[in-house]
Copies of this chain bind each other. A is one copy, B any other.
Amino acid sequence: MAVTVVGSIAFDRVETHTDQREKLLGGSAVHFSLASSFFAETRVVGPVGDDFGEDEYDVLHGRGVITDDIEHVPGGKTFFWAGRYERDVNIRHTLQTDLNVFEDFEPKLSDAARAAEVLFLANIHPDLQRRVREECSGARFTALDSMNLWIDITRDSLVEAIRMVDCVILNESEIRMLVDEPNLVRAARALLEMGPSVVVAKQGEHGSALFTPEGFFALPAYPTPDVVDPTGAGDTFDGGFVGYIAAHADEEIEAPLLRRAMAYGTALASYNVEAFGTERMLDLTGSEVADRVSELGRLTRFDDVPIALRA
């Protein structure tokens, strides 16, 4: 099934402990679509400025991403973000955020974008997420991501958006913050009570956890010794997870499918952090992805052997 993703398209400047890059292609919709494209036809809705050119389109087209719905704002500049990671890459400092054309973004969906069976609302203002969700009233599976900013300044609108989707994917700290509940199990259950049937908590280097009304699943991150640039890992996870579901939406969207989707999201995110920006995604092959999913299966499995315990 086809996927439409609405979100940011950006240029990033990234500094790490040992290196830096000036003008990396980034943004939530870009990272999402490069991952999703491994599984499903993916269409990006988002704004760019005059500085967004053939090189950037080539990256997206190289993975078969459909860019017809990318809106070019004449005279504008593309969203720009600069950040610095400490030697401990879990610690990130935002150095600069220039919204540019993203500031007045009003998503305009083509008929084809509106007709996608799977809709992903990447991290944008929840008012916009709700408007797009209403436009795509025929979607069979809808999911959203968000960030602490929207929880802080427009929580009510975000809660409304959450009521309108099947699946919420957030960092675990955002889930706790959103419902003011430090226990993640309780917090995720509170989110499920708002309406979605699937809640995914992203836990960075600790992996991710899946909550549904029926159950729970958790998967560690792939143990990567060389994290070069974590930017976009979360969006890449989203793309792998949602893309996998889109490719299997003829199945029931239940635990077995959702668990496999988590593994593909995890595998893709683990590749994404191995190089700056989208670099690693460009030469990544389907068999590398499949291999890492198999490896994740082996790294997380234990075979219980019934024993007599001293009671």
Contacts and interface: CB of A to CB of B under 8 A. Distances in A.
Interface of A: 37-40, 64, 86-90, 176, 182-186, 189, 203, 205-207, 209, 215-220, 223-227, 247-248, 256, 259-260, 262-263, 285-287, 289-290, 293-294, 297, 299-311
9 contacts: A37-B310, A38-B310, A88-B182, A89-B182, A183-B227, A217-B302, A218-B220, A247-B307, A256-B302
A147 B260 CA distance: 37
Contacts of A310: 37-40, 64, 286
Contacts of A220: 207, 209, 218-220
Of A64, A189, A225, A303, most buried by chain B (CB within 10 Å of CB) is A225
A259 B303 CA distance: 8
B304 A297 contact: yes
Of A226, A285, A299, most buried by chain B (CB within 10 Å of CB) is A299
A305 B257 CA distance: 9
Closest 5 A/B residue pairs (Cβ): A286-B309, A88-B182, A218-B220, A259-B302, A206-B206
Contact of A300 (B225, B248, B300, B307): B300
Copies of this chain, tallied across the complex: 2
A233 B301 CA distance: 23
A260 B303 contact: yes
A241 to B, nearest CB: 12
A225 B189 contact: yes
Nearest to A182: B88
A228 to B, nearest CB: 11
Contact of A218 (B39, B207, B217, B304): B207
A268 to B, nearest CB: 10
Nearest to A258: B302
A302 B186 contact: no
A304 B293 contact: yes
A220 B40 CA distance: 30
Given A189-B225, A203-B206, A220-B209, A304 B294 contact: yes
